[in-house]
């Protein structure tokens, strides 16, 4: 093993297990970091994050899920037993140091894919160009990648070629210092060539090496920097932020599917407001959405949404972002253009459009609507998210609407129809241009409480049909 593998921070390895009880995460030096505080942040439920780099934070993070970590440790131990180096790598190390549950455990090793397969005959290649093998251990899929260095990124996404490398060279190809650390689960030691642990303590996102080089390799890293910064409540180091501003046009060459996925992950996260502020201040929002903001980086609508959103609620965050960016102009839904820019599903596109349309109707029409139309509006799937977003700028009106809806619920917002098309045909009414209008008019009467039985519904339908026939 090269001596540099154990040389960290002025030539000395600092074992994670020696951090006992001391609070290490703290604010870094001021003046060189891009900082902000988003409007309404106090109203958001933030994901808890332990502020310590101690043994206990790592143990509590791994014990809550246990099995995948143990499975990965077994694999690393078997590779080491066969004479190879093997470490936990990337996000699982970062999350463990922050006291968070790691989503995936990846292993970096000096073993080649063939050597990995010698130890694990059932391993299979999932990224053989990159030397990545997939091993199932106790039912958990663990990716094992050979140390590598990468050639130029002609397409700004994938390297033209890769070659087997040392651990230190492997770390140099990674995006940010907080993602470039390694943990030896057998020897229980941290390997950190780029002071990633220090950047965790300073709460900052910093590119490894020259920021422009890391961004040129994969322009999507600009959005990843924002996602990590907003997710963890970190800042973006000054030189890295400047490189992002200078390279933001590079996103034009990235597939819209990849861009859309990064934006979706930001918008579902509790700190979506912070992400939007970063995107605006770095000039990324205009590049991603193809339009400039009319309202700067005010994110009061996004900040009003608490907690993590489910995938099916993505449209709520999109509607809030549209309102924050365009204010009154958001009454004209950006859904068609955003669907192209972010590759939205039809469901997300329609949800975005409907939320904004309902909010507009609530603001302009609610006080003029009768009982039936209020009930129809209040029974729509996206009514409550729209009312919530209305509350941001018109809290009095939104509160009154909520009270009105509670009263309407007593008689049912959307009761089963007394009269349907089949019953209307059986009564002898012929199908015609006014058929559906009659059915809807009868349902309005039902919603208003003017009829309560099928017999009353049929009598009213006949009257409406006769009147429409005479007038038509």
Proportion of the chain above pLDDT 70, given as a percent: 81
Distance CA 379, CA 205 (A): 45
What pLDDT, on the 0 to 100 scale, is given for residue 210? 96
What pLDDT, on the 0 to 100 scale, is given for residue 4? 29
Least reliable range by pLDDT among 80-84, 328-332, 430-434: 328-332
Distance CA 271, CA 229 (A): 10
pLDDT of residue 161 exceeding 80: no
| Homologous superfamily assigned to 1-30+48-202 | Beta Polymerase, domain 2 (3.30.460.10)
Domain ranges of the chain: 1-30+48-202, 309-413, 421-471
pLDDT tens for residues 228-247?
999 999 999 999 999 999 99
Q: Considering just the CA atoms, what is the radius of gyration of the chain in Å?
A: 29
- 33-34/235-237 β-pairing: antiparallel
pLDDT of residue 158 exceeding 90: no
In the block, tokens 């251990």 appear at 137
With a CB cutoff of 8 Å and minimum separation 6, the contacts of 139 are 67, 71
Burial class (CB within 10 angstroms; exposed 0-12, middle 13-18, buried 19+) of 368: exposed
The secondary structure of the chain, three-state, reads CCHHHHCCCCCCCCCHHHCCCCCCCCCCCCCCEECCCCCCHHHCCCCCCCCCCCHHHHHHHHHCCCHHHHHHHHHHHHHHHCCCCEEEECHHHHHHHCCCCCCCCEEEECCCHHHHHHHCCCCEEEEHHHCEEEEEECCEEEEEEECEEECCCCCCCCCCCEEECCHHHHHHCCCEHHHCEEEECCCCEEEECCCHHHHHHHCEECECCCHHHHHHHCCCHHHHHHHHHHHHCCEEEHHHHHHHHHHHHHHHHCCHHHHHHHHHHHHHCCCHHHHHHHHHHCCHHHHHHCCCCCCCCCCHHHHCCCCCCCHHHHHHHHHHHHHHHHHHHHHCCCHHHHHHHHCCCHHHHHHHHHHHHHHHHHHHHHHHCCHHHHHHHHCCCCHHHHHHHHHHHCHHHHHHHHHHHHHHHCCCCCCCCCCCHHHHHHCCCCCCCCHHHHHHHHHHHHHCCCCCCHHHHHHHHHHHHHHHHHHC
Least reliable range by pLDDT among 135-139, 155-159, 274-278, 388-392: 155-159
What pLDDT, on the 0 to 100 scale, is given for residue 17? 28
Distance CA 221, CA 454 (A): 63
pLDDT class of 127 with cuts at 50, 70, 90: low
pLDDT class of 42 with cuts at 50, 70, 90: very low
The set of long-range contacts for 85-88, using a CB threshold of 8 Å and a minimum separation of 24, is 85/1, 85/5, 85/109, 85/110, 85/111, 85/147, 85/167, 86/110, 86/111, 86/144, 86/184, 86/186, 87/167, 87/182, 87/183, 87/184, 87/185, 87/191, 88/182, 88/183, 88/184, 88/185
pLDDT of residue 48 exceeding 60: no
pLDDT class of 102 with cuts at 50, 70, 90: confident
Within its chain, how far is the Cα of 319 from the centroid?
15
Residue 290 vs residue 25, higher pLDDT: 290
C-alpha torsion sign, points 444, 448, 450, 452: positive
pLDDT tens for residues 378-431?
999 999 999 999 999 999 999 999 999 999 999 999 999 999 888 888 888 878
Proportion of the chain above pLDDT 90, given as a percent: 69
pLDDT of residue 54 exceeding 80: no
Distance CA 84, CA 77 (A): 9
Residue 47 vs residue 375, higher pLDDT: 375
What pLDDT, on the 0 to 100 scale, is given for residue 130? 61
What pLDDT, on the 0 to 100 scale, is given for residue 26? 27
pLDDT of residue 440 exceeding 90: yes
Listed residue (423, 7, 396) closest to 191, CA to CA: 7
pTM of the model: 0.81
**To the nearest whole number, what is the mean pLDDT of the chain?**
85
Distance CA 462, CA 10 (A): 91
Least reliable range by pLDDT among 309-323, 341-355, 413-427: 413-427
- Edge-to-edge, what's the strand order for the sheet holding 235-237? 33-34, 235-237, 204-205
pLDDT tens for residues 16-27?
323 322 223 223
Average pLDDT over residues 453-462: 94
Residue 331 vs residue 81, higher pLDDT: 81
Give yes or no for a contact between 449 and 415, defined as CB atoms under 8 angstroms apart. Answer: no
Average pLDDT over residues 214-226: 96
What pLDDT, on the 0 to 100 scale, is given for residue 470? 66
Average pLDDT over residues 193-204: 98
Q: How many Å from the N-terminal Cα to the C-terminal Cα in the chain? A: 92
What pLDDT, on the 0 to 100 scale, is given for residue 35? 33
pLDDT of residue 126 exceeding 80: yes
pLDDT class of 254 with cuts at 50, 70, 90: very high
pLDDT of residue 152 exceeding 80: no
């Amino acid at each position: 093993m090269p001596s540099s593998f154990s040389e960290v921070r002025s030539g000395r390895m600092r074992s994670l297990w020696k951090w006992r009880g001391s609070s290490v995460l703290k604010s870094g030096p001021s003046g060189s970091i891009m900082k902000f505080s988003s409007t309404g942040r106090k109203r958001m439920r933030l994901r808890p994050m332990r502020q310590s780099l101690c043994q206990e934070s790592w143990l509590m993070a791994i014990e809550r899920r246990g099995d995948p970590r143990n499975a990965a440790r077994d694999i690393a131990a078997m590779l080491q037993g066969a004479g190879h180096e093997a470490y936990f790598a990337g996000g699982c190390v970062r999350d463990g140091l922050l006291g968070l549950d790691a989503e995936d455990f990846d292993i970096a090793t000096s073993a080649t894919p063939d050597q990995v397969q010698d130890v694990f005959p059932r391993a299979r290649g999932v990224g053989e160009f990159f030397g990545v093998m997939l091993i199932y251990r106790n039912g958990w899929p663990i990716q094992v990648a050979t140390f590598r260095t990468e050639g130029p990124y002609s397409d700004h996404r994938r390297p033209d070629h890769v070659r087997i490398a040392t651990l230190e060279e492997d770390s140099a190809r990674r995006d940010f210092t907080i993602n470039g650390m390694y943990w030896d689960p057998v020897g229980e030691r941290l390997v950190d060539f780029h002071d990633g642990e220090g950047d965790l303590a300073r709460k900052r996102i910093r590119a490894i090496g020259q920021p422009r080089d890391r961004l040129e390799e994969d322009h999507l890293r600009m959005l990843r920097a924002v996602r990590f910064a907003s997710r963890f409540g970190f800042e973006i180091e000054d030189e890295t932020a400047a490189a992002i501003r200078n390279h933001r046009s590079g996103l034009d060459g990235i597939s819209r599917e990849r861009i859309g996925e990064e934006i979706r992950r930001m918008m579902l996260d509790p700190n979506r407001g912070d992400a939007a502020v970063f995107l605006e201040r770095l000039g990324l929002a205009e590049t991603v959405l193809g339009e400039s903001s009319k309202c700067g980086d005010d994110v009061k609508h996004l900040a009003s949404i608490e907690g993590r959103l489910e995938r099916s609620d993505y449209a709520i965050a999109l509607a809030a972002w549209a309102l924050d960016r365009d204010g009154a102009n958001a009454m004209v839904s950006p859904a068609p253009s955003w669907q192209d820019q972010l590759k939205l599903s039809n469901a997300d596109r329609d949800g975005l459009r409907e939320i904004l349309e309902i909010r507009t109707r609530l603001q302009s029409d609610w006080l003029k609507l009768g009982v039936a139309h209020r009930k129809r509006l209040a029974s729509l799937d996206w009514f409550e998210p729209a009312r919530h977003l209305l509350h941001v700028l018109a809290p009095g009106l939104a509160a009154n609407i909520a009270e009105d809806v509670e009263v309407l619920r007593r008689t049912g917002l959307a009761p089963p129809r007394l009269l349907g098309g089949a019953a209307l045909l059986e009564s002898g009414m012929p199908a015609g241009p006014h058929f559906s209008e009659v059915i809807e008019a009868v349902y309005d009467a039902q919603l208003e409480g003017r009829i309560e039985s099928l017999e009353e519904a049929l009598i009213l339908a006949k009257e409406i049909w006769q009147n429409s026939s005479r007038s038509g």
